[in-house]
Amino acid sequence: MPEHLLSPGHTACAGCAQSLAARLVLDAAGPNTIIVNNTGCLEVFSTAYPDTAWEVPFIHSLFENAAAVASGVEAALRQNGKLSETRVISQAGDGGTADIGLQALSGMWERGHDILSICYDNEAYMNTGIQRSGLTPTYTSTSTSPASKSSTGNPRPKKNVVEIAVAHGIPYVATASAGFPLDLQKKVKKAMAIRGPKFLHVHVPCPLGWRHEPDQTYQIARLAVETGLFPMIEFENGKISGRYLIAKLKPVEDYLKPQGRFRHLFKPGAEAALKEIQEIANRNIERYGLVKTAT
């Protein structure tokens, strides 16, 4: 067996957290896994003909239909009696999950297929050149929501796709981060042991799109969690069942400042926008109980 089921030698950028997370996920899932992938960076950098980085069966069809293709794969495995020994993962980026792929994904969850769907969330359409998606955070500068004289960047809040998943009544929903590899793998293993639809939302910094140094990926990923901007939480059967408790809460500036996509927030006049982002973090902390309160 190869050392990793997602082989090195693919063409992901230096510091790409999506490639790191995908490797961690697949190594945790094991070789009896079939990967169904939406169009996006992950597919492009791993499967340029005639090469492939995948040591497990892999299929890519279109941008928005991985969840439906995976449903077909699962139905076929159910039909030929191989579902007990084979696991199916359907994976996509943030756009492929929460925007263009949401309908197919919702259908897959609703139908109850035995599939783990994974969102590698790098918070914009990176494969096409850093355009805003429904998971782009408030006041992010992207190529279609550029910060400029009349704009503070993306004016809308990040869509709560995690709670959309929970609302489908599926047995397991969790978030994870490339900055917490062991936690990510633990959640993959937990999800794989549950039959039915599972959703794992993984936060993956993108040095190119977020404009930070490639060697900062890990720290940036951790800061998103430690500021409360990316809550690490678990839901089982509709109820919150796990949370990463932030030991030492950090101000959002610590997370935002190293990233070029938020540079405009540190110019004079952007104080209100910064305050709003801190309020988003505060609301997350309160909503999900991310900080241990003295009792």
Asked if 32 interacts with another protein (CB under 8 A), we say: yes
Q: Between 68 and 290, whose beta carbon lies closer to another protein?
A: 68
- Judged by CB under 8 A, the chain residues 55 through 114 that form the site for another protein are 55-62, 64-65, 67-80, 85-86, 103-104, 106-107, 110-111
Q: Between 12 and 31, how does the x/- string for binding to another protein read (CB under 8 A)?
A: -------------------x
Q: Measured from the CB of residue 25, what is the shortest distance to another protein in angstroms?
A: 16
Residue 101 or 231: the one with the smaller Cβ distance to another protein is: 101
Task: Check: CB of residue 92 under 8 Å from CB of residue 37.
Answer: yes
Structure tokens at 79: 């039909």
Q: Does 44 bind another protein (CB under 8 A)?
A: yes
User: Which CB atom, from 106 or from 278, has the smaller least distance to another protein?
Assistant: 106
Work out which of 12, 21, 42, 54 binds another protein, going by CB under 8 A: 54
Residue 94 CB, nearest approach to another protein (Å): 20
Helix (H, G, I), strand (E, B) or coil at 79: helix
Contacts of 3 (CB under 8 A, 6+ apart): none
Is residue 47 near another protein by the rule CB under 8 A?
Answer: yes
Task: From residue 143, give the alpha-carbon distance in Å to each of 12, 45, 101, 192.
Answer: 20, 21, 21, 37
For 81, phi then psi, to 5°, come to 75, 15
- Cα 229 to chain centroid, rounded: 14
- Residue 236, strand partner residues: 172, 239
Q: Are 78 and 111 in contact (CB under 8 A)?
A: no
**Rounded least distance, CB 295 to another protein, Å:** 46
Closest approach of another protein to the CB of residue 29, in Å: 11
- Contact between 57 and 37 under an 8 Å Cβ cutoff? The reply is no
- Minimum gap (Å) between residue 12 Cβ and another protein: 13
| Residue type for position 143 | S
Angle (deg, nearest 10), helices 66-79 and 102-111: 30
Q: Which stretch binds another protein (CB under 8 A): 50-58, 141-149, 154-162, 287-295?
A: 50-58
Total residues at the site for another protein (CB under 8 A)?
A: 45
Rounded Cα–Cα distance for residues 177 and 182 (Å): 10
CB of 267 to another protein, least distance (A): 40
Query: Does the protein bind another protein through residue 43 (CB under 8 A)?
Result: yes
Residue number with CB closer to another protein (72 or 196):
72
SS3 195: coil
Q: Peptide bond preceding 50: is omega within 30 degrees of 0, i.e. cis?
A: yes
Q: Output the CA torsion sign for 116, 223, 163, 120.
A: negative
We find the least distance from the C-beta atom of residue 125 to another protein, in angstroms, to be 17
Which of 176/192 has CB closer to another protein?
192
Residues 6 or more apart whose CB falls under 8 angstroms from that of 16 comprise: 41, 45, 204, 206, 207, 217
Q: Which is nearer to another protein, 8 or 31 (CB)?
A: 31
Binding residues for another protein, rule: CB under 8 A, are 31-34, 36, 43-44, 47-50, 52, 54-62, 64-65, 67-80, 85-86, 103-104, 106-107, 110-111
